[in-house]
Amino acid sequence: MVKNKQYPSLPGTVNKRIGQAMHDYAMLAEGDRVLLAISGGVDSLVLAWILKSWQRKAPIRYTLSAITVDHEFWRAHDGAVSPSVSIGSQLDKMGIEHTVERAWDLSEEDRTCYQCARNRRSQLFDLARQRGYNKVALGHHKDDLVETFFLNILYSGNISTMIPRQDLFEGRLALIRPMAYLEKSEVVAIAEMLGLAPVVNLCPLANDTRRERVREILAGIYEREPGAKQSMFAALANVRKGYML
Ligand SMILES: Nc1ncnc2c1ncn2[C@@H]1O[C@H](COP(=O)(O)OP(=O)(O)OP(=O)(O)O)[C@@H](O)[C@H]1O
């Protein structure tokens, strides 16, 4: 039942899993200053809304503001609204302050997805530290965690994934991923329910990455084995170290 237009209720199981992830990894604490990393894609817009609506009912107080690292792929054309403006106005409706920072330049040889993401991450850490935030929230979800696990096995020869909370700089900054227990399809359903308008990723390499290939492989696996995603996700928390080489 939708009680409040801006803060409609999420399905009970979705709400429960957000709370569970936050609790399992102690993601938020009294007095936290949380920087939301917002690309404007569906995942980070939903993340912003979740942490804002959570703020209203949480027994602790924390502050939220959002930042977008602008890679400047967009070019002005007649009548079109820039991604930054669209993101800003959606966050404004949620009551979240938003700033845009130009992405650090990449040298010609560093123009790879890996290096671009790495730079963005470092830039977000720098901005958070300079501006006194102690948490950076990212919009990764369960599908991202499984994909990263596969990426690392297939291309990097190691077994690891992104963890829901990662402490950095001797605990002065933590990365948190409050949607770690949600599936992509659930994130998309929340965005549709809220009427969010994700901006399109204009990076020319967006659909031609190793992650995209892994996504296709996984889609094939899920089609043949519908329970595989849950099982693989459970496996990430059930490593039998005595049976590894
Ligand atoms: N340009 C950016 N500025 C700020 N944060 C970003 C930016 N790009 C990505 N992020 C953060 O990193 C997370 C993962 O980014 P990724 O590029 O993998 O996109 P994604 O999984 O498609 O997420 P989204 O739907 O939010 O774009 C995003 O959810 C967001 O929190």
**150-182: per-residue pLDDT in tens?**
999 999 999 999 999 999 999 999 999 999 999
What's the whole-number mean pLDDT along residues 184-211? Answer: 90
Q: Give residue 170's domain range.
A: 12-243
Number of domains composing the chain: 1
Quick check: is 4 in a domain? Answer: no
Quick check: is 30 in a domain? Answer: yes
Ligand 1 geometric centre to CA of 242 (Å): 36
* Residue 110 labelled as part of a binding site: no
User: Binning pLDDT at 50, 70 and 90, where does residue 2 land?
Assistant: very low
User: Cβ(32) to ligand 1 under 6 A?
Assistant: no
What's the whole-number mean pLDDT along residues 4-10? Answer: 77
Quick check: is 6 in a domain? Answer: no
User: Cβ(178) to ligand 1 under 6 A?
Assistant: no
Quick check: is 5 in a domain? Answer: no
Quick check: is 87 in a domain? Answer: yes
Work out which ligand 1 atom sits closest to the CA atom of 36.
31
Most confident of 4-18, 37-51, 204-218: 37-51
User: Cβ(22) to ligand 1 under 6 A?
Assistant: no
Ligand 1 geometric centre to CA of 138 (Å): 7
Res. 60: pLDDT tops 50: yes
SS3 sequence of the chain:
CCCCCCCCCCCHHHHHHHHHHHHHCCCCCCCCEEEEECCCCHHHHHHHHHHHHHHHHCCCCCEEEEEEEECCCCCCCCCCCCHHHHHHHHHHHHCCEEEEEECCCCCHHHCCHHHHHHHHHHHHHHHHHHCCCCEEECCCCHHHHHHHHHHHHHHHCCCCCCCCEEEEHHHCEEEECCCCCCCHHHHHHHHHHHCCCCCCCCCCCCCCCHHHHHHHHHHHHHHHCCCHHHHHHHHHCCCCHHHCC
